[in-house]
């Protein structure tokens, strides 16, 4: 019902990614050509077996970051590389043009990645990475929560949108060094109800994996609250060496 309503409220007569004319809707927000391009970039380069970043050094099995500072999550994967135009555009259309319906197709594709990777399993609950209060106020929604909602439908697992809470507003991470980012994020999140996490295998959902510091901090907090394991799925991911 929600999808039909979205289609009526936001009639889209062009592809959200390349603006090709056609008939598009919430379950098919972009054209077949864009879809083919996204699929073809998925396996275009080898990835870090731990964090899923695309590797600039093809012979490595792990990125330098994961070698020097092994993450506590069991695995992180993405639908494709953030450097790809189409994947990047999809995030922008969802976040900045506030086209929430993009999350249906994006969430479906993220769910498929999880289904096809045995290392993710078992999964008991799904938790989105919370955004800052400022961003939530400005945007009106948390894009990671929308993605997590769709993934929970695909995987048939419960999603808890407020199980992780941001308790410290953090300035932009972009300009900071790795050490500063870690410091900046320390105690930035808390688990609101540890009984829901205790002994559970958690799938953590975010839109983009960039430096990994937010994901790492959320993982740490979930494990500290008693989670059995944490796996991470994002729409797009960066490159490493």
Using CB under 5 A as the binding rule, whether residue 34 contacts Zn ion is answered as yes
DSSP assignment, residue 93?
A: H
CB of 33 or CB of 195, closer to Zn ion: 33
In angstroms, the Cα distances linking 170 to 25, 44, 113, 211, 218 are 36, 34, 30, 15, 14
| Residue number, 75 or 146, with CB nearest to Zn ion | 75
Please tell me whether residue 51 binds Zn ion under the rule CB under 5 A: yes
Contact string (CB under 5 A) for Zn ion, positions 119-148, x = contact: ------------------------------
Other CB atoms within a 10 A radius of the CB of residue 32 amount to 11
3-class DSSP state of 99:
coil
Q: Are 217 and 187 in contact (CB under 8 A)?
A: no
Please report whether residue 63 would count as binding Zn ion according to CB under 5 A: yes
Are 167 and 188 within 8 A, CB to CB?
yes
18 belongs to the binding site for Zn ion (CB under 5 A): yes
**Rg of the chain (C-alpha set):** 17
How far is it, in rounded angstroms, from Cα 73 to Cα 53? Answer: 14
Shortest spacing between CB 90 and Zn ion, in angstroms: 11
Give the residue with the Cβ less far from Zn ion, 52 or 128.
Answer: 52
Query: Does 215 engage in binding with Zn ion (CB under 5 A)?
Result: no
Stretch that binds Zn ion, among 52-60, 87-95, 119-127, 202-210 (CB under 5 A): 52-60
Beta strands 21-24 and 12-14 are antiparallel
Stretch binding Zn ion (CB under 5 A), from 24-32, 127-135, 172-180, 182-190: 24-32
Residue 66 binds to Zn ion (criterion: CB under 5 A)? yes
Q: For the chain, give the number of residues.
A: 241
Sign of CA dihedral 167, 171, 173, 179: negative
Q: How far is the CB of 31 from Zn ion (least distance, A)?
A: 3
Beta bridge partners of 202: 125, 230
Q: Residue 17 interacts with Zn ion (CB under 5 A)?
A: yes
Q: Is 20 in the site for Zn ion (CB under 5 A)?
A: yes
> Which of 48, 91, 197, 205 touches Zn ion (CB under 5 A)?
48
Q: How far is the CB of 67 from Zn ion (least distance, A)?
A: 8
- C-beta neighbour count of 192 within 10 angstroms: 15
- Binding-residue total with Zn ion (CB under 5 A): 13
Return residues touching Zn ion (CB under 5 A). 15, 17-18, 20, 30-31, 34, 48, 50-51, 53, 63, 66
């Amino acid at each position: 019902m929600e999808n039909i309503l979205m289609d009526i409220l936001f009639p889209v007569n062009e592809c959200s990614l390349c603006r090709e004319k056609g008939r598009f809707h919430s379950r098919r927000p972009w054209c077949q050509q864009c879809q083919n391009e996204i699929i073809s970039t998925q396996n275009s380069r080898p990835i870090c077996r731990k964090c899923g970043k695309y590797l600039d050094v093809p012979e490595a099995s792990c990125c330098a970051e994961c070698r020097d500072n092994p993450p506590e999550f069991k695995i992180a994967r993405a639908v494709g590389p953030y450097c790809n135009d189409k994947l990047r555009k999809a995030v922008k259309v969802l976040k900045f043009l506030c086209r929430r319906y993009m999350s249906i197709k994006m969430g479906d594709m993220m769910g498929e990645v999880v289904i096809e990777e045995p290392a993710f399993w078992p999964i008991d609950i799904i938790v989105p990475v919370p955004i800052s209060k400022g961003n939530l106020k400005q945007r009106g929604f948390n894009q990671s929560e929308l993605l997590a909602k769709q993934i929970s439908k695909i995987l048939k697992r419960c999603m808890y949108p407020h199980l992780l809470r941001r308790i410290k507003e953090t300035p932009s991470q972009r300009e900071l060094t790795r050490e500063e980012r870690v410091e900046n994020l320390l105690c930035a999140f808390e688990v609101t109800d540890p009984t829901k996490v205790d002994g559970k295998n958690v799938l953590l959902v975010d839109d983009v994996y960039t430096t990994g510091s937010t994901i790492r901090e959320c993982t740490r907090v979930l494990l500290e609250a008693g989670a059995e394991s944490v796996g991470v799925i994002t729409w797009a991911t960066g490159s490493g060496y």
